[in-house]
């Protein structure tokens, strides 16, 4: 049996510990974004711009379906990290097995919802008639195996909560290489028969591989809390704790996914070229999320472990360091995107195909509208990570619901009545990022998280039950 290579974040240099945890997450997300990007590049180059438009509709819709379940599962990560920081191994084990059981339930439910509702959702977001058959095929293949994606994210969340960000990186590299190879086979070689469904099938198989590798890792941990099939069950007290931490995060993710899907519907109304341009931009925007995601997750885990151990000053210092790093890196990426937008969008589009110039124009316009404001996006996500790690998930939920959903959609609905141009839709993002960042800044500076958290919120103890 392997040694447990988990990381105790309650000791050692804050900066070094945070970076050693965050860098593998950064690289994991980089490989994931690379193989998601390769999906679109291969589909666009081999199957044409209509197929690219079909796949381009996938990101927001898949996120809308999956986001609630993954967001809720994040509550388990907070609980596990706190128990791990407090050296309560029995509670860690019960939380892990409850989380895995919850993932099985979520995966089955999501498969049924995705396969059944796909045509209705695609119609709702104004998917072009020429694109619809390919889009339906892509989504139904993807959702037939979505349980692997859900359980993979559950397992990665558990490993991250235990301070292990290296093994998920190794597994993602392996699955990324498999995904690219299968894309080239299913789309490049058998594209005439498999169509865009081949890209979805390649993703399904690679996610299954990632899931299997993560499960094997969890089962081989040399610790009392290692995953054991016979212990997978829902413990009621742990379920309540996971849902208390996780449901606000699930709602937060869902409203973002819902709002972005409504944005997609507005963009789709401008035609399939606008859809393809938007999808191409979203792929390159994903690279800007890399430093944002890795530091937000690192902050959340670091704070959870240290609050579990009662090390409040250490948790606060981590928040400041992580936010600063994320702001700087995301803005550097934003400047590069602004400068090289035509070349980056051009990677996805099949030159000479119908609509090439229009797709390029739409994608470049969106990139140059949003990219210089990535620092606002970084700040909002990192402070949300602080809130989750501190056991305050309701705060980011309310901010995202009111600003990133209600205000964003209200803005688009009103502005298009007066200025019916797609560029006005693009501005919805930096405007709402900015407003939410101001609210987060006020909360961060004035709340008890910064001033007297340790006095007002003593360490939480969860009673152990055997149900």
Gap between the Cα atoms of 6 and 335, Å rounded: 36
pLDDT of residue 464: 42
Gap between the Cα atoms of 153 and 170, Å rounded: 15
pLDDT of residue 341: 93
Q: What tens-digit pLDDT sequence spans the chain (467 residues)?
A: 444 456 667 777 888 888 887 888 778 777 777 767 777 777 777 777 667 666 766 666 777 777 777 777 777 787 888 888 888 889 999 999 999 999 899 899 989 988 888 788 778 777 777 778 887 888 888 888 889 988 998 998 899 888 888 888 888 888 888 888 888 888 878 767 777 788 888 888 998 999 999 999 999 998 889 999 999 999 998 988 888 888 887 787 777 777 888 888 899 889 888 888 888 888 888 877 778 888 888 888 888 888 877 888 888 888 888 899 889 989 999 999 999 999 988 887 767 666 778 989 999 999 999 999 999 999 999 998 888 888 788 888 899 889 998 999 999 999 999 999 999 999 999 999 999 999 999 988 876 654 444 444 444 444 444 33
Question: What digits encode the pLDDT tens for the residues 15-73?
Answer: 888 888 788 877 877 777 776 777 777 777 777 766 766 676 666 677 777 777 777 77
* Angle, helices 14-47/312-346, rounded to nearest 10 degrees: 20
For residue 280, give the H/E element and its range: helix 272-308
Q: Is 87 left (phi over 0), alpha (psi -120 to 50) or beta?
A: left
278: tokens are 């938007």
246: tokens are 């996780």
Do the domain assignments include residue 394?
A: yes
pLDDT of residue 228: 94
Which has the closest alpha carbon to 44: 143, 134, 127, 128? 134
Gap between the Cα atoms of 208 and 153, Å rounded: 11
Buried b (16+ CB within 10 A) or exposed e, 291-305: bbbbbbbbbbbbbbb
pLDDT of residue 100: 93
Do the domain assignments include residue 467?
A: no
Do the domain assignments include residue 7?
A: no
HSE, CB side, 13 Å, CA atoms: give it for residue 127: 28
Question: What digits encode the pLDDT tens for the residues 259-307?
Answer: 888 888 899 889 888 888 888 888 888 877 778 888 888 888 888 888 8
Task: Give the structural domain span for 339.
Answer: 14-454
Gap between the Cα atoms of 30 and 45, Å rounded: 22
Gap between the Cα atoms of 295 and 298, Å rounded: 5
pLDDT of residue 253: 77
Which 3 state secondary structure label does DSSP give 419? coil
Which ranges of 86-196 does DSSP label H, i.e. alpha helix?
89-124, 132-144, 146-161, 166-183, 191-194
pLDDT of residue 208: 93
pLDDT of residue 451: 41
Per the structure, the count of domains in the chain is 1
pLDDT of residue 186: 86
pLDDT of residue 60: 65
Do the domain assignments include residue 466?
A: no
pLDDT of residue 447: 64
pTM metric for this prediction: 0.70
Do the domain assignments include residue 183?
A: yes
What sign results for the dihedral spanned by CA atoms 73, 137, 36, 253?
negative
Do the domain assignments include residue 445?
A: yes
Which ranges of 125-145 does DSSP label H, i.e. alpha helix?
132-144
DSSP conformational letter for 464: P
pLDDT of residue 459: 46
Name every residue whose Cβ is closer than 8 Å to that of residue 176 and which is 6 or more positions away in sequence: 31, 32, 34, 35, 206
Do the domain assignments include residue 449?
A: yes
Do the domain assignments include residue 36?
A: yes
Q: 117, 146 in Cβ contact below 8 A?
A: no
């Amino acid at each position: 049996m392997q040694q447990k290579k988990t990381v105790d974040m309650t000791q050692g240099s804050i900066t070094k510990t945070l970076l050693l945890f965050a860098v593998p997450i950064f690289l994991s997300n980089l490989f994931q974004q690379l193989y998601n990007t390769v999906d679109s590049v291969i589909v666009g180059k081999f199957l044409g711009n209509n197929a690219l438009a079909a796949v381009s509709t996938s990101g927001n819709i898949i996120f809308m379906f999956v986001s609630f379940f993954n967001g809720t599962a994040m509550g388990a990560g907070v609980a596990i990290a706190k128990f791990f920081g407090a050296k309560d191994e029995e509670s860690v084990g019960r939380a892990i097995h409850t989380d895995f059981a919850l993932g099985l339930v979520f995966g089955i439910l999501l498969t049924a919802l995705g396969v059944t509702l796909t045509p209705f959702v695609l119609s709702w977001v104004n998917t072009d008639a020429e694109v619809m058959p390919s889009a339906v095929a892509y989504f139904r293949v993807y959702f037939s195996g979505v349980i692997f994606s859900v359980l993979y994210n559950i397992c990665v969340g558990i490993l991250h909560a235990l301070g292990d960000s290296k093994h998920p990186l190794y597994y993602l590299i392996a699955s990324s290489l498999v995904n690219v190879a299968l894309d080239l086979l299913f789309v490049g070689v058998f594209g005439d028969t498999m169509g865009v469904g081949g890209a979805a099938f390649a993703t399904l198989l690679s996610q299954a591989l990632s899931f299997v590798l993560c499960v094997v890792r969890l089962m081989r941990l040399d610790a009392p809390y290692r995953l054991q099939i016979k212990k997978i069950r829902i413990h009621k007290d742990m379920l309540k704790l996971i849902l208390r931490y996780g449901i606000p995060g699930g709602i937060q993710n869902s409203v973002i996914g819902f709002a972005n899907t409504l944005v997609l519907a507005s963009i789709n109304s401008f035609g399939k070229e606008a859809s393809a341009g938007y999808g191409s931009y979203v792929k390159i925007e994903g690279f800007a999320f890399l430093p944002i995601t890795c530091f937000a997750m690192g902050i959340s885990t670091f704070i959870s472990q240290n609050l579990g151990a009662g090390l409040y000053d250490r948790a606060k210092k981590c928040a400041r360091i992580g936010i600063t790093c994320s702001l700087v890196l995301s803005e550097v990426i934003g400047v590069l995107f602004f400068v090289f937008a035509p070349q980056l969008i051009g990677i996805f589009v099949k030159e000479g195909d119908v609509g090439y110039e229009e797709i390029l124009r739409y994608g470049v316009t969106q990139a140059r509208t949003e990219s210089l404001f990535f620092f606002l996006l970084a700040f909002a996500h990192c402070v949300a990570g602080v809130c989750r790690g501190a056991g305050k998930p309701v705060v980011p939920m309310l901010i995202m619901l009111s600003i990133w959903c209600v205000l964003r959609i209200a803005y688009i609905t009103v502005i298009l009545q007066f200025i019916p141009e797609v560029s006005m839709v693009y501005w919805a993002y930096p405007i709402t990022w900015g407003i939410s960042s101001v609210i987060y800044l006020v909360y961060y500076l004035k709340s008890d998280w910064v001033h007297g958290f340790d006095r007002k919120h003593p360490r939480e103890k969860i009673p152990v039950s055997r149900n």
